[in-house]
Structures are given as structure tokens and as C-alpha cells.
């Protein structure tokens, strides 16, 4: 242990050995926070803490597993007994144990985003509520936001909802929560809200976990939301030790409820708290750190710190001006080939980061054309693919017959002639007699509105489900799933279809069966409930395989916590990065700036930044000025290159290219009414938006506008009364 402690720098050592009260470790990018956390846990075990008394929370399974493996190498097998995992997986585990106290059964389902959006859609249909411009996905986003801020349906209805529109949202929210309970299901947000409910209403249970967890450690503390912080405060008394680790400059999840004030107010909430700063960076060159600092210093809300490094000065960043997104892809590939050749790198040493997923298509096309291997992180995740979710739908019904969403998913898969009309009539029967859909299937012959032929199909389907529900405790999980896939004829169906898509589905089903075999091999007493709980909490980044020799492509959000020798940050244009041209709040602009800071600090040796003077968006060629974040970079930290022009300069100069921007993007005189595609406009009802298309002339001229809050609207110019933003 002494040798390990001696390997730390002075600041790291102080943070590891401090053990008197609550403390916060402000860990700058690349400052070795994972190492500090790992050594601290090992140090606590060495100091006499029982592994079961340590609760270590982070945000990805990948991070938790890597940390547990590192601790295990230091202290041995006892590290397996540490409570280490994500917030969601850890409290899902507690909720399994205490489910009955909350009137749930231990086999409750966990709904991912797709399941939750589907439930919102079904609720909206059942209530016959249609909201102009509000898809079920957008409604679910609002509901998730309410939950993240601990606003119950009752709170929303009584204190927030004022307009008719808001009252309808409140109706949907209330019914959505009611359906979750009826389905014996929780969504991701419930995995954080239900523990608060559990601890608030049951002091005995709260004391049980307070007694168990004597030391709590939290990684990525800047990303915690209100509910997560509330749980931490409930579990912590003056007798407990809590250590939180984070970097306010990397707080990038405000859009999903993360609350930076948790970190900013930590010393206020824990008056005796100590703060330690890790400011030595071990990842990046001096030039990269100087560039990142020159941008992030423009944020007003932050904890003061100065990153420094003993690494070499390094190369300047390269800002590449491109004509359009195709040229951008060409320039990136050209530089990838150059870097691989000159630095003797592998493809997996390179990452391409983008602000929004839609940017990846042109890049992918170019990568395939030039035969450069790549992998996309955060696309359609394996366990979210249709054929996988269909099979998992069966397994979830075997485990939980109240799970109506899963039952609806598999009712007609494979095709068995049970149409939507018949299902709707069965649901109406279920509601009338206070049954769930599974129970209704057993009484389908009483649903006289359903045709006899379809009643027989439903009965056969019910017999199939009953058979496997009976087998789930007799067969291993692997045997159960293999038998199901075989009886459903899925492998034969996909093989006979013989299309590229069906063969891909076939391969994915084989991969699922393989993964279940591996799960059973690793967990000798693996249960169906345990397996379903584990895969429900897997994120895209958890499946990333470092050994693949391929360029990594992902959004900047997905890149959090990763590092690469070479990083390309793409699409640095206003309205893309930062995502919004206009900001309602300074905090939104500051979060975009933190996101850019995260992107730059993923790099060890070299950063390329690309931007295009035109880009195809919303069905039109859009012209946008380059990002304000490029303008904020210290001029001594970067050089500029022209893509298809091929010119290079070490300092920004006025050029024909800049004049093009000036002509294309300067705000037009508001009185001129000279609207053009790409113009930002304001409507008195719909608010801010951007013109996508202008068709016709005179009184019949129509303008299509993508409004920030209400989506695309097609307006008659004569009556729209639009103004330049």
C-alpha cells in the first residue's frame, strides 16, 4: 500500500488520506481522478472498513466495472463485496429487496426510454389527447424532466399547470404513472424517485442502509440531478463519510436534469466539508490545455482552478475550413491517413466527435468509401434493436405478467393475425372488468367483439406464454431462451427472408443467445429477473470494445471520460456547436462551452477542429457562421487550414472566405423584410425559429419555419407577421 501511495502526487495523496468529514475532490480533466478513487477505496479497506460498508457510485457500468477490477488487483477478492455501480443499478438492487414496501413485486420491469415513450403514446390514445406539435417522445421528455426535478403529478397539477395545454400534460403524466404501477414497472427516473419515497416513509429501512453504508463515494458528481443528491443527503449523517469527485467544467447534462448547483453548494450543505483540487493534467499537451482554458474561462459559473502539465508543449490545434459537409469528411480522412502514417498510430487511437448524431452519415459514407474501419458509439444500441427487444419482450412477460407494454409488443410477433382493432377491444374489456391484458387473454372468448378466429389465435398465444412461464424455473435461462427462439421459428424466418436486413437480424439473435450463454457461465445461479435487470441498465458506452482497430465515432456527450491521441471535433458552426444560435439563459450557452471543453480535453497529442461554410440541413442548404468557440480560442494555440482551397496560415487572416461569411450571415435590417432560407425569425405565438423554405410570391407566398419549441410550421407570409430575430 505504501508503494501505491508514494506513486501519487501531493494533491492526490492528500485527497486519498483525508478521512475526517465530508470532502469534495475537484478533479480537472486528465488529472487522474479514477486512480485517486481506486487508491482511496483500497486505502479505506486497508484502514479497516468492511467492503460491504463502502458505497461507490458512478454513471456508467463500464466505469464501475473498471474501477472494481482495479481495486481487486490491489486488495484481492474482498473487493467483490463493495457496493459499486451506477446510481440506477445500485438503487434498483435496493428496490428489488424492498419492493413490497412500495406495493411493487420484486420482479418489476424496468422501462427504457423506448418503452416509456410507447406507454406515453398508449396513454395519449386512451385519453384521446392530441397536442399540436407535441409527439409522445416530447411529452415523455417533459415527464422525465418533472421527475428529475422531483415534481409529482399532484404537484404539477396543483402548482404549475395553468393553461389548458399544461393541464393536458398533467393528465398524461398522472395516467402514465398510474399505468407504470399497474404494469409492475418503473422507468429510469423511478429508480431514483422510489428510493426517496422508500426512505421518507420508512425510517427503519433508511436506518438499515445508513447503518450499512459507512463511507459513500460519488464519481462525476457534477452530473448528479436533484433526486440523486437528495438520496445522498438522506443516507448521510454526521457520523458518515462522504467523498464526491467531479469537475464543474465538465458538467454537460443539464438537458437531462443534471444540476451543477449540487457541486457549487456542496460546502454549504456540508458545513465542515473540505475541498481538494487536482490540477495536474497527465493526459494532454500544454498547447491543448492552454486552448481549452482560453475557452472555458469565458464561463462565469465555475470553481476556480488552473490545469497544468509536465507534458511537452505539443502541436498547435488545427482549424480546418471546409466548403461543405462532404469536403469536411474528405479533409478528415486525408488527415487520418496522414496521422496513421507519420505517427505510426492504429485507427483506434483516433476519435471523431460531433455535436449531433445526424452529422455522422456523411462521415460514415466517406469512411466506407475509403475503406477505413470505424465503430459508432451511442447509435442504435444492441439491446435496443427491434429483433432483440422482441425476444426480450417475451422474457419480460415470462417474468412479469403485468407488463402490458411488453405484452403488446409481442402480441403479434411473429405474425399470428391479432390486429390492433382486436387488441383495442381486449384492452377495453380489461379496463371494464379491472383486469390486466394477460388475464383478459384467458377470457378472450368473453370479448364478443373479437372474431372467433382471432379468439382462437389469442388462446394459442396464451398457451405458449403459460408454457414458458411454467418452464422458467425448471430450465436454465440459456435453455429457456434457446427453446423459445426455436419454437417461434425466428432463425428460420430471418434466414428464409434472405435480405441484408433479415440476415443482420439473424446474426443479432445469434449474438443474443451467445451473450446469454456467457451471462449464465459467469453467474452460475443466474435468474431471469437478474438478467433482465442487468441488461435494462446497460448503456451504449458499456459495450465499447477497446481492442477493435477502428476509428471511434460518437457525440461529444458519449466521449465523456474517454481519451485518444488524436481527436477531430467537427461541425464547429453556429446553430450546430453551440447547438442554438440564440440562448434563453446564460447557463445553456455555458453548458455548450463546457461541452466544447470536454471535446478538446479528450485529446492527448493533437486536436483538429473542422467547420463548413454550408451544410445540408432540414432539406435545405444552410449557411452558418463559424462557431463562437473558435473565436474564443487563444490565437497562439491554433493554426488554420483551408480544405479544398489548400491554403494554410498560423494566424487568422481576413480572406475571401471570411467575406463570404460576412455577406451570408450578417443580420439583415429588420425593416427590410428580406427573409431568406436560414434567417432566424420571431413569431408572436410560436417564438423563435429558422426559415427552412420560401415558396410562391405575393399574397400566396408561404414560409416554412422550424420553431425552437413548436417544430415546423407552414405559414402564409401575408398573415405570419414574422420579424427578424
Catalytic residue numbers? Answer: 33-34, 219-220, 250, 602
Compute CA distances 187 → 197, 376, 388, whole Å: 15, 26, 19
DSSP track, 186-208: EETTHHHHHHHHHHHH-HHHHHH
**Rounded to a whole number, what is the distance in angstroms from the first to the last CA of the chain?**
62
The phi, psi pair for 307, rounded to 5°, reads -75, 140
In sequence order, what are the beta bridge partners of 111? Answer: 187
List all residues 6 or more positions away from 6 whose beta carbon is below 8 Å from its beta carbon: none
DSSP state of 316: P
Is 717 within 8 Å of 703 (Cβ atoms)?
yes
Q: For residue 687, how many C-alpha atoms fall within 13 Å in the half-sphere facing its CB? A: 8
CA distance 398 to 471: 9
What letter does residue 80 receive in the DSSP assignment? Answer: G
Q: Which of 367, 380, 430 is nearest to 402 (CA)?
A: 430
Q: What is the DSSP letter of 215?
A: E
Distance, CA of 424 to CA of 440 (rounded, Å): 12
Beta bridge partners of 683: 687
Which of 384-418 are b and which e, b meaning 16 or more Cβ less than 10 Å from the residue's Cβ? Answer: ebebbbbbbbbbbbbbbbbbbbbbbbbbbbeeeeb
Check: CB of residue 132 under 8 Å from CB of residue 155.
Answer: no
Please answer whether residues 87 and 189 qualify as being in contact, where contact means their C-beta atoms are separated by less than 8 angstroms: no
* Residue 365 dihedral angles phi and psi, to the nearest 5°: -55, -45
- Number of neighbours of residue 139 by Cβ within 10 angstroms: 22
The total of other beta-carbon atoms located within 10 Å of residue 17's CB is 13
Are 438 and 401 in contact, with CB atoms under 8 Å apart? yes
Amino acid at each position: 500500500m505504501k508503494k501505491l501511495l508514494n506513486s501519487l502526487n501531493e494533491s492526490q495523496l492528500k485527497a486519498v488520506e483525508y478521512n475526517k468529514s465530508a470532502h469534495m475532490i475537484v478533479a480537472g480533466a486528465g488529472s487522474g481522478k479514477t486512480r485517486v478513487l481506486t487508491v482511496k477505496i483500497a486505502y479505506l479497506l486497508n484502514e479497516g472498513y468492511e467492503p460491504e460498508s463502502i458505497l461507490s457510485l458512478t454513471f456508467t457500468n463500464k466505469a464501475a466495472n473498471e474501477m472494481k477490477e482495479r481495486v481487486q488487483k490491489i486488495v484481492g477478492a474482498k473487493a467483490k463485496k463493495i457496493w459499486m455501480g451506477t446510481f440506477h443499478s445500485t438503487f434498483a438492487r435496493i428496490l428489488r429487496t424492498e419492493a413490497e414496501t412500495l406495493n411493487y413485486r420484486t420482479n418489476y420491469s424496468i422501462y427504457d426510454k423506448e418503452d416509456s415513450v410507447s406507454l406515453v403514446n398508449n396513454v395519449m390514445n386512451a385519453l384521446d389527447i392530441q397536442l399540436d406539435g407535441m409527439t409522445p417522445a416530447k411529452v415523455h421528455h417533459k415527464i422525465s424532466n418533472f421527475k428529475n426535478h422531483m415534481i409529482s403529478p399532484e404537484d404539477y397539477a396543483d402548482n404549475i399547470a395553468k393553461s389548458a395545454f399544461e393541464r393536458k400534460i398533467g393528465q398524461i403524466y398522472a395516467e402514465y404513472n398510474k399505468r407504470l404501477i399497474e404494469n409492475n414497472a418503473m422507468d429510469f427516473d423511478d429508480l431514483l424517485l422510489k428510493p426517496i419515497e422508500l426512505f421518507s416513509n420508512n425510517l427503519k429501512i433508511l436506518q438499515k442502509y445508513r447503518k450499512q453504508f459507512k463511507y459513500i463515494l460519488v464519481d462525476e458528481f457534477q452530473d448528479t440531478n436533484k433526486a440523486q443528491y437528495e438520496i445522498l443527503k438522506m443516507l448521510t449523517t454526521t457520523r458518515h463519510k462522504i467523498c464526491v469527485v467531479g469537475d464543474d467544467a465538465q458538467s454537460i447534462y443539464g438537458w437531462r436534469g443534471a444540476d451543477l448547483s449540487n457541486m457549487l453548494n456542496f460546502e454549504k450543505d456540508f458545513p465542515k466539508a473540505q475541498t481538494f483540487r487536482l490540477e495536474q493534467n497527465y493526459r494532454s499537451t500544454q498547447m491543448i490545455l492552454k486552448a481549452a482554458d482560453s475557452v472555458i474561462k469565458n464561463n462565469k459559473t465555475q470553481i476556480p482552478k488552473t490545469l497544468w502539465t509536465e507534458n511537452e508543449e505539443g502541436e498547435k490545434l488545427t482549424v480546418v475550413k471546409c466548403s461543405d459537409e462532404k469536403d469536411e469528411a474528405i479533409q478528415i480522412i486525408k488527415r487520418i491517413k496522414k496521422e496513421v502514417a507519420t505517427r505510426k498510430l492504429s485507427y483506434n487511437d483516433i476519435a471523431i466527435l460531433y455535436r449531433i448524431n445526424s452529422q455522422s452519415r456523411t462521415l460514415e459514407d466517406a469512411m466506407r468509401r475509403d475503406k477505413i474501419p470505424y465503430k459508432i458509439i451511442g447509435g442504435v444500441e444492441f439491446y435496443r434493436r427491434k429483433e432483440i427487444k422482441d425476444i426480450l419482450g417475451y422474457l419480460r412477460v415470462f417474468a412479469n405478467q403485468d407488463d402490458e407494454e411488453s405484452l403488446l409488443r409481442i402480441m403479434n410477433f411473429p405474425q399470428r393475425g391479432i390486429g390492433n382493432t382486436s387488441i383495442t377491444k381486449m384492452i377495453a374489456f380489461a379496463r371494464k372488468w379491472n383486469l390486466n391484458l394477460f388475464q383478459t387473454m384467458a377470457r378472450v372468448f368473453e370479448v364478443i367483439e373479437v372474431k372467433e378466429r382471432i379468439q382462437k389465435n389469442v388462446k394459442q398465444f396464451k398457451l405458449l406464454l403459460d408454457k414458458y412461464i411454467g418452464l422458467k424455473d425448471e430450465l436454465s435461462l440459456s435453455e429457456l431462451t434457446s427453446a423459445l427462439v426455436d419454437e417461434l421459428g425466428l432463425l428460420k424466418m430471418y434466414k428464409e427472408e434472405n435480405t441484408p436486413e433479415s440476415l443482420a437480424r439473424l446474426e443479432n439473435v445469434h449474438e443474443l443467445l451467445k451473450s446469454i450463454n456467457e451471462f449464465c457461465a459467469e453467474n452460475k445461479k443466474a435468474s431471469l429477473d437478474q438478467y433482465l435487470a442487468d441488461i435494462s441498465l446497460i448503456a451504449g458506452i458499456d459495450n465499447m470494445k477497446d481492442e477493435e482497430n477502428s476509428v471511434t465515432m460518437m457525440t461529444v456527450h458519449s466521449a465523456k471520460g474517454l481519451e485518444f491521441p488524436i481527436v477531430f471535433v467537427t461541425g464547429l458552426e453556429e446553430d450546430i456547436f453551440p447547438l442554438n444560435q440564440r440562448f434563453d439563459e446564460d447557463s445553456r450557452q455555458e453548458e455548450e462551452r463546457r461541452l466544447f471543453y470536454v471535446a478538446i480535453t479528450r485529446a492527448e497529442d493533437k486536436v483538429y477542429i473542422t467547420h463548413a461554410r454550408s451544410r445540408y440541413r432540414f432539406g435545405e442548404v444552410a449557411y452558418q457562421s463559424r462557431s463562437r468557440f473558435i473565436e474564443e480560442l487563444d490565437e497562439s494555440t491554433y493554426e488554420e487550414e483551408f480544405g479544398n482551397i489548400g491554403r494554410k496560415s498560423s494566424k487568422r487572416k481576413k480572406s475571401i472566405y471570411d467575406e463570404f461569411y460576412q455577406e451570408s450571415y450578417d443580420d439583415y435590417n429588420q425593416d427590410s423584410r428580406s427573409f431568406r432560407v436560414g434567417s432566424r425569425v420571431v413569431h408572436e405565438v410560436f417564438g423563435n425559429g429558422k426559415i427552412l423554405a420560401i415558396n410562391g410570391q405575393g399574397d400566396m407566398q408561404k414560409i416554412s419555419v422550424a420553431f425552437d419549441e413548436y417544430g415546423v410550421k407552414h405559414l402564409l407570409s401575408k398573415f405570419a407577421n414574422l420579424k427578424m430575430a
